């Protein structure tokens, strides 16, 4: 198992380009970028290379989603905007040698759900085609959101997301499994993992409520990690939380978790 840190949520005390080295110095194997900053990709690539750290995951641009808007991936009248976001994500994938690309969520708003799903499937097919055109194709990921934080999210059911992944060409599409979202949806994340482990390609964690670090919240994340390891998970485990203090002050979990992961 390898551990990654979200450079969108974590190390935000630092300028973006300095976060790669900070994550490396803190002991992470890789990083994730949920929101690509408006910086030259060459500059981001140099920062990654200087830190000698893997970019485990990026998101296709989500438009206005994080500001409460509809997003892009399943919005019928935003297909062109999604195409532009996809082009930048594919360029970033090549520049940063990215392993996984998350297609990104969207909201239905006032549109018919059927129309949004049709748009999502079209954009997903377009994304798979774009990924396979790269010299080193990444695996694309889809992630069910939670209905508490995002009641009108297009994809919230892990079984439905798994069915989409199952119908894709082999190893081209997988699930992004977020312990926070599964818990907020009222599910036991360990049981969800066991049911859908064949489709899960990448996992993320944060505590409930508030998406905080291990030890701040209701979940026994160490116990969940141990259960996932016992169930056979050995992929990326991404820290996607909002630190309650400076990021480095919240990393007391990392060394003990490495010991848990080593039991696999």
240 among known catalytic residues: yes
Check the CA dihedral 87-124-67-11 and report its sign: negative
How far CA 206 is from CA of 25, 129, 249, in Å, comes to: 21, 32, 16
Number of other CB atoms surrounding residue 204 within 10 Å: 23
Helix (H) or strand (E) holding 226: helix 221-230
Q: Which residue has the tokens 């949806």?
A: 185
- Establish whether 143 is a catalytic residue: yes
CA 154 – CA 145 distance, rounded (Å): 8
Sign of the alpha-carbon dihedral angle for 126, 127, 131, 132 = negative
Which residue in 49, 114, 143, 213 is the catalytic one? 143
- Helix axis angle, 221-230 relative to 254-261, nearest 10°? 20
**Residues 155 and 142: beta-carbon distance below 8 Å:** yes
Which residue in this structure is represented by tokens 């998970």? 233
- Answer yes or no: are the C-beta atoms of 31 and 19 closer than 8 Å: yes
How far separated are the first and last CA of the chain, in Å rounded?
9
Nearest to 52 by CA among 14, 96, 10: 96
Known catalytic residues are 143, 240
């Amino acid at each position: 198992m390898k551990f990654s840190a979200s450079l969108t949520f974590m190390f935000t005390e630092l300028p973006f380009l300095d976060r790669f080295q900070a994550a490396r110095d803190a002991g992470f194997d890789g990083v994730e970028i949920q929101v690509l900053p408006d910086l030259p990709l060459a500059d981001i690539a140099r920062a990654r290379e200087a830190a000698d750290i893997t970019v485990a995951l990026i998101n296709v641009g989500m438009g206005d989603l994080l500001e409460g808007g509809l997003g892009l991936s399943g919005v019928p009248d935003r297909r062109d905007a999604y195409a532009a976001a996809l082009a930048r994500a594919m360029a970033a994938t090549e520049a940063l040698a990215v392993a996984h690309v998350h297609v990104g969520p969207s909201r239905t708003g006032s549109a018919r759900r059927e129309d949004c799903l049709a748009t999502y499937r079209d954009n997903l097919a377009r994304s798979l085609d774009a990924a396979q055109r790269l010299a080193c194709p990444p695996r694309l990921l889809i992630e069910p959101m939670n209905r508490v934080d995002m009641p009108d999210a297009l994809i919230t059911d892990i079984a439905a997301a798994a069915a989409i992944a199952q119908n894709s060409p082999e190893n081209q599409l997988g699930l992004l499994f977020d312990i926070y979202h599964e818990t907020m949806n009222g599910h036991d994340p360990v049981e969800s993992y066991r049911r859908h482990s064949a489709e899960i390609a990448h996992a993320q964690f944060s505590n409930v409520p508030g998406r905080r670090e291990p030890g701040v919240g209701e979940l026994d994340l160490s116990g969940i990690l141990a259960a996932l390891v016992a169930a056979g998970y050995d992929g990326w485990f991404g820290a996607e939380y909002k630190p309650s203090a400076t990021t480095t002050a919240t990393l007391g979990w990392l060394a003990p978790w490495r010991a848990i992961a080593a039991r696999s």
